Amino acid sequence: MAGKTRGGDRDENVTVSFGARFARSEQFKTVFREGMALVEAAATYLDGEGRREARKLRPPHSLAYATESMRLTTRLMQLASWLLIRRAVSEGELTPEQAIEEQRKIKLPPAGGDQPNRDLSQLPVRLRELIEQSVKLQERVIRLDQMFDAKVLPAGEEIDNPLKSQMSRLRAAFGPQE
């Protein structure tokens, strides 16, 4: 995508960072608010009603509760850290270089890589809801994280796409035979 220069002429060599624009957008602010509200809701639940519900569980469900509540807490802390770092960059509190250094400490899993690995049906309904909401938020953040560093290229240029080259090879190997 081309950008405008100071004089109003089009500059075909300008790249635009999706991340820089998105971090200042209303959509990011919405994701940020939703993420922080989820962190607060989970903390309130785990410190109150969740604690009472956990006492009623018997093994192995009590172990599953402890494991999944720890995973929930860890997931939400990673997401909150990511959101706070991105907001700090957009507000000028951190440079992009400082943000990169800070984000190395955050371990976001690959998309779809942090799904609960057990049957959660015996856990309290509210804990299951919080887990589901946190996994959905995590998937959004992972997609955003992948886009944040993407650049929009000048017209006519393409990013190297490994899938495209593989598809070309497949067409060459299995395409119509003459």
111 token code pair: 């998309």
pTM over 0.75: no
**pLDDT in the model for residue 163:** 58
pLDDT of residue 100: 85
Rounded to 5 degrees, what angle do the CA atoms 36, 40, 45 make? 150
User: How many other C-beta atoms are found inside a 10 Å radius of the C-beta of residue 138?
Assistant: 23
pLDDT for residue 23: 72
- Output the DSSP codes for 95-139: -HHHHHHHHTT--PPPTT-----S--TTS-HHHHHHHHHHHHHHH
φ and ψ at residue 13, rounded to 5 degrees? -105, 5
Q: Reduced to 3 states, what is the DSSP secondary structure of residue 3?
A: strand
Kindly report the CATH class assigned to 14-174. mainly alpha
Q: Sign of the C-alpha dihedral, residues 79, 85, 91, 96? A: negative
Tell me the two tokens of residue 86: 């991105």
Q: Which positions of the chain have pLDDT values less than 70? A: 1-20, 111-118, 148-178
CB-CB contact of 141 with 79 (8 Å)? yes
Separation of alpha carbons 52 and 72, rounded Å: 17
Task: Give, in order, the Cα–Cα distances in Å from 162 to each of 15, 159, 166, 169.
Answer: 22, 9, 6, 11
Name residue, tokens 């000028």.
92
